[in-house]
Structure 1
Amino acid sequence: MVQNNEKNQYLATFTVNIISVCYGASAAWPSSSFLLLESVESSPLCSGALTKNEMSWIASILCIGGFIGTILSGILADFIGRKYVLCFQGIPSILSWILIYYAENPIYLYVSRFLSGLACGGAFILVPLFVSEIAENSVRGALGSLLMVTSNVGILLSFMAGHYLSFRLVPAVFVVLPTLFLLLTVIFPETPIFLLKTGKLEAAESSLRFYRNIQVTGQQTPLQFQEEFENLKRQFGSENGRQMEKTTYFLTDFTEKVPRKSFIIGIALILLHEFCGCFTMINYTATIFAESGSNISPNLSAIICGAIQLLGTLVSTKLVDRAGRKFLLIVSSFGAGISLVALGTYTYLNSIGYYVQPFSWVAIASFSSMLFLASCGIIPLPYVILSEVMPHKIRSIGATVCFCFSWTIAFLMLKYFPIVVIWIGMHGCIFFFAACCFLGAIFVIVFLPETKGRSFEDISRILAN
């Protein structure tokens, strides 16, 4: 149940996460469109069917755009502000869908995917940053988890649109989302933390009042609000209320104990996120369902997997501020690892000629449970935790570095994973993903502090010990 003081926090979070729905739709668009685009008889492009090389570039160029978008957004967020840089992400997203609608050859699609990547890169660094700076400690985890919930909503919608709508109608429908995002996000105030960092005390207080749903009346301001605002001023504001001088970074800002540990945690969680196999193996959904003896069509099987991912992230959102980040990550990592071992064993036995048809349900069950368990923790929580553990002075830079690393790994996985499958087999890749999940769970147990319900100040104090 949303409390009255949390209403505007939820409203703003849902609004800014419309761009996350756009990301999910863009990320899943190739999966639902490639079968048509590579068809010699029915390709919608004037240039004809796409080659395998062209399709691999269309899939992976999104990551190049994401890398550049992450850097640009991370830099601009500390100068222009979180809100306006976030609003800008709607423009390349709109243009990307327009280009798909008018596409005549692969060049249109290359540019479209690059622009979509720009918007996605900005969204993945700015949405967690924006939400973490407007949310109260008690709901910060749940609100932060909505990034992946809404992304999975976009994935599911894209799979469904690809199955039921024509090639040209899909972008005509989805262009509405970034347009709506742009028009609605501009209404909300800038985050109080950024306003404090730029010396705008009155605007910061007004912003915090909005996000705590406290009306300006003749009544006395609640003591809890006063204490929170004074605490934020102490952490992020300047003593005389004037605009702070341009931030100067020193080597010690990155090498001291707290930032060093936060970077280690961030990089480790990104590695777990990418190498759990969820993002890569979703591209092999049709193959796995076919090997299991299922008669479900490729697009319909993708819809089923999209629904499973969405269910998992919804569970994560419900539990993240109750069970805690650490507990969910441990359960998610071990559970996904066990599911991958089962799937890898089935795939290996099938590859060496064992009769596994009576156990075809194992492939579907293990793949589905892997998606569900990964979506409960491994997929959504690294973005939440990363925005919490980074020291405020280097939060934008730290998140930028980690997300650039994530986009790089994602590009390499999408572009070269088929080659690795030829070298070590699908089962070898699956066992590798399982090992990464188990190693990630051990890292979480040993090194990750619980951040549930804690202020940024408390988290920094824990990392300093």
Structure 2
Amino acid sequence: MSLTHGISLGWFSPTLPLLRSKNSPVGPIDVTEVMWIGSMFGFGSLICNMFICFPISFFGLKKCMYFVPIPNMINWILIYFASKSAFLHVARVLLGISGGTMMVCFPIFIAEVSDNNVRGTLGSFFMLTLCGGLTLGFVMVYYISYHMLPCVVILLPITFFCLLIPFPEPPQDLLKRGRSEMAEKSFYFYKNLSKDPTKQDENKEAFIIFRDKVLGGGIQEKVTISDFCNKDSGKAFSLIAVLLVCNQMSGSFAIFNYASAIFAQLGSSMEPNMCGIFMGVVQLSGLASAVILVDRVGRRWLLIPSLAGMGLAEFGVGLLRSLASQEYLNRHFWVALTLMCIVAYTSSVGLVALTFVIIVELLPFKIRAPGVSLSMCGLSCAVFMALMIYPVTISISPCSCRQVSPLWA
């Protein structure tokens, strides 16, 4: 499902030239509409993040995961039948709702069913498939027609829905609702404990230790304001706030939404969409590195170099765009491409790969679901602001962009 969501996000940037052209299936759209269509994703995600913790608490994690593919499928149906730009506004809101649910449910699910020694790897792999979908979205738009793409991609969320059915609910979720016997079976399933009769006592003891640890965290108690206002929770949310600000204000997400326009304005002689695909491949290599390294070197030693490298590379991109002449940019287009690829690699090897892993690990069991939901509200606000600001900061306007970029011609 994360692959599907990535394709849905990656579809937007390389499709903009078609949407801006006279042959647009929704009629030519101007920069204001582009800005709002792009940012509607963050709006939909915010709506979902504000309320998703209540269905998780009431219905359970797995039932909420069943909901994830539904808005995504409707998103592709609207894209297929779109005749006005309003269809795309609604489609992006629905995509945000699907993504908002996924970004809360999936990290919690991974944290609750995985062992400590592979949790970072699985969390990074979740982001690897998501960003792999972004790159695949660029490629698919390049080779598949506008109306054929929804027919292909919609099969993926249907497949996810079917594959999810045989998986049991997480044991923590079942213990929270007092279903100890089902929780024990779920614990054995996800821990892959042997069904050998000689090990029944050993397995039972492992489950009792796990159950006492979970229940000892007050997971069955009613969540109150004091659970969010104590010292441990305050420290966790402070660290999460810094992490989320770094995640979005670095432009790690917005850059990919407007990659084609950025490369065009940096004077690349390569086709902008091809530069975006190349940068996506570099990002995937960074995420693959994170999958390999995260549980070996630790979170801190990936996150700090990631932030430093990304900041320096983006500073270089800013200097290049501000100080270099158009002639220099055209002659040395590889400089911009190299800097953007450094941004892609350094952000993905640490910040992108670890954000959701760290958020879930920092929060106590008792407030994990509402805490992640609250954190994702902050992330959605940051996404909305970043997607609104970036078209302006890279000077996307009908007049200026005709001179420098085929994207807006």
In the superposition, the TM-score normalised over structure 2's length comes to 0.91
Which of 181, 201, 209 aligns to 1:231? It is 209
Task: Decide whether the 8 Å contact of 2:9 with 2:257 is kept in 1.
Answer: no
Alpha-carbon separation, structure 2, partners of 1:378 and 1:90: 26
Alpha-carbon separation, structure 1, partners of 2:148 and 2:207: 48
Alpha-carbon separation, structure 1, partners of 2:275 and 2:328: 23
- Counterpart position of 1:324: 298
Alpha-carbon separation, structure 1, partners of 2:267 and 2:88: 34
The answer to which of 284-293 and 294-303 deviates more is 284-293
Tell me the alpha carbon deviations over residues 206-235 of structure 1, each in whole angstroms, 9 at most, x when there is no partner: 001111222434222374x44542232113
Tell me whether 1:392 sits opposite 2:365 in the alignment.
yes
Q: In 2 relative to 1, CA 93–360 (structure 1 residues): closer, same or farther, beyond 3 Å?
A: closer
Shift of the alpha carbon at 1:252? 2.1
Q: How does 1:140-151 map to 2 (within 5 A)?
A: 140-151=119-130
Letter in structure 1 aligned against 2:375: C
- Counterpart position of 1:435: none
Tell me the number of residue pairs that the alignment of Structure 1 and Structure 2 aligns: 396
Letter in structure 2 aligned against 1:114: V
Please provide the CA RMSD for this pair.
2.3
- Counterpart position of 2:334: 361
Would you tell me which structure has more helix in proportion to its own residues?
2
Task: Decide whether the 8 Å contact of 1:29 with 1:158 is kept in 2.
Answer: yes
Task: Decide whether the 8 Å contact of 1:43 with 1:49 is kept in 2.
Answer: yes
Q: Larger RCO: Structure 1 or Structure 2 (Cα < 8 Å, ≥ 6 residues apart)?
A: 2
Which of 414, 424, 449 aligns to 2:387? It is 414
Letter in structure 2 aligned against 1:22: T
Tell me the alpha carbon deviations over residues 80-138 of structure 1, each in whole angstroms, 9 at most, x when there is no partner: 11111011111111111111111111222222211111110000010000010000111
Task: Decide whether the 8 Å contact of 2:10 with 2:257 is kept in 1.
Answer: no
Which of 130, 143, 161 aligns to 1:182? It is 161
- Counterpart position of 1:32: 14
The answer to which of 399-408 and 278-287 deviates more is 278-287
Alpha-carbon separation, structure 2, partners of 1:309 and 1:74: 31
Letter in structure 2 aligned against 1:341: F
Letter in structure 2 aligned against 1:170: L
Q: In 2 relative to 1, CA 357–109 (structure 1 residues): closer, same or farther, beyond 3 Å?
A: closer
Q: Indicate the SS of the match to 2:347.
A: helix
- Counterpart position of 1:260: 234
Q: In 2 relative to 1, CA 90–126 (structure 1 residues): closer, same or farther, beyond 3 Å?
A: same
Q: How does 1:165-244 map to 2 (within 5 A)?
A: 165-221=144-200, 223=202, 225-226=203-204, 228-237=206-215
Tell me the alpha carbon deviations over residues 156-186 of structure 1, each in whole angstroms, 9 at most, x when there is no partner: 1110111001000111111011111111112
Task: Decide whether the 8 Å contact of 2:269 with 2:330 is kept in 1.
Answer: no
Q: In 2 relative to 1, CA 261–118 (structure 1 residues): closer, same or farther, beyond 3 Å?
A: same
Q: In 2 relative to 1, CA 415–244 (structure 1 residues): closer, same or farther, beyond 3 Å?
A: closer
Shift of the alpha carbon at 1:244? 8.2
Alpha-carbon separation, structure 2, partners of 1:244 and 1:347: 52
Alpha-carbon separation, structure 1, partners of 2:182 and 2:195: 13
Task: Decide whether the 8 Å contact of 1:349 with 1:356 is kept in 2.
Answer: no
Alpha-carbon separation, structure 2, partners of 1:321 and 1:310: 18
Q: How does 1:17-56 map to 2 (within 5 A)?
A: 19-40=1-22, 42-45=23-26, 48-56=27-35
